[in-house]
Amino acid sequence: MKIHVIGLGINEQAQLPKEAQDVLVKLTENDKLVGSERQLSMVHAYGTKAQTHVLPKLNDLKHHMDEWASLGVERVAILASGDPLYYGIGAWVHRSFAEQEVRFYPNVSSIQAACHRLGISLQNAQVFSVHGRPLASIRTQLHPSKTLLLLTDKSNNPQAIAKECVEMGLGLSELFVCERLGYEHERVTRYTANSLAHVEDSFDPLNVVIINTSAQPGRLPSTPGFKDSLFITDKGDGQGMITKREVRLAVLSYLGVEAKEVVWDIGAGCGGVSVELAYWNPETEVYGIEHHEARLACLEANREHFGVVKNLHVVHGRAPEAFANLPTPKRVFIGGSDGEMAQLLDEVWQRLPLGGVLLVNAVTDATMMEAMAFLAKRDAAQDAYDESSTIQVYRSERLAGKRIRRPHLPVSLWRFEKCLPGEQA
Segment 63-121, tens digit of pLDDT? 999 999 999 999 999 999 999 999 999 999 999 998 889 999 999 999 999 999 999 99
Positive or negative CA dihedral for 131, 135, 138, 142? positive
pLDDT in tens, 402-412: 999 999 899 99
Domains and CATH numbers, the chain: 2-108 (3.40.1010.10), 111-212 (3.30.950.10), 228-418 (3.40.50.150)
Q: What are φ and ψ of residue 221, in 5° steps?
A: -70, 165
The terminus-to-terminus CA distance of the chain in angstroms comes to 54
Q: What are φ and ψ of residue 112, in 5° steps?
A: -60, -45
Question: What pLDDT is recorded for position 12?
Answer: 86
Question: What pLDDT is recorded for position 337?
Answer: 79
pLDDT in tens, 18-33: 999 999 999 999 999 9
Q: Give mean pLDDT, residues 310-316.
A: 97
* E runs forming strands in 345-419: 357-362, 384-391, 394-399, 402-407, 411-418
Q: How many CA atoms lie within 13 A of 147 on its CB side?
A: 12
> Would you say residue 271 has pLDDT above 80?
yes
- pLDDT interval class at 423 (50, 70, 90): confident
Question: What pLDDT is recorded for position 253?
Answer: 97
> Three-state SS for 233?
coil
Using a pLDDT cut of 70, give the percent of the chain over it: 99
- Please give the model's pTM, rounded to 2 decimal places: 0.90
Give 271's contacts (C-beta < 8 A, 6+ positions apart). Answer: 231, 242, 288, 298, 299, 302, 303, 312
Question: What pLDDT is recorded for position 235?
Answer: 82
Measured CA to CA, the distance from residue 343 to residue 335 in angstroms comes to 14
pLDDT in tens, 327-381: 999 999 999 877 789 999 999 999 999 999 999 999 999 999 999 999 999 999 9
Contact 291, 264 (CB under 8 A): no
> No. of H helices and E strands in the chain?
12, 19
> Would you say residue 238 has pLDDT above 70?
no
Question: What pLDDT is recorded for position 237?
Answer: 67
